[in-house]
Amino acid sequence: MNHKTLALLCLGAICGTAHASSDQAWAELEQAMQRACIQASGLKNPKPLGNSAQFDDQVGYSALLLQGQYPQKHMQGRSGIELCLYHRSSRKAVVSEWDAIRPALKAR
């Protein structure tokens, strides 16, 4: 076997495993995302609403809906929904109020 063939075989082995992820790795990512999103939330007692959406690695984000109560006194404990975007490589979460999704959620 020449050096080029050996190098290509090694590169193929490395590239082939780079994209594989175990179920445990996905579960750990999901838990990290939920923790980061809950911490970034402005809602009281935020909880994930449904499953997360995983965008392609070129985008690098996962999205999660959170539901909780608005903490402001004038909101009188009204329920609120936020959209959390989680950047997988930096492990940072940002949230935005997204109560406008309610009609779509009720239609299901």
Q: What is the pLDDT of residue 106?
A: 77
Give the C-alpha separation, 92 to 68, whole Å: 20
Question: pTM of the entire structure?
Answer: 0.74
Give the C-alpha separation, 105 to 46, whole Å: 17
**Blockwise average pLDDT, block size 10, the chain, 108 residues:** 39 41 89 97 95 94 97 91 97 96 78
Domain range summary for the chain, segments of one domain joined by + = 24-107
Those residues whose C-beta lies under 8 Å from the C-beta of residue 43, and which sit 6 or more positions away, are 66, 67, 68, 69, 70, 71, 80, 82
Q: What is the pLDDT of residue 10?
A: 37
Q: What is the pLDDT of residue 103?
A: 79
Give the C-alpha separation, 64 to 84, whole Å: 5
Q: What is the pLDDT of residue 21?
A: 74
Contact call for residues 64 and 37 (beta carbons, < 8 A): yes
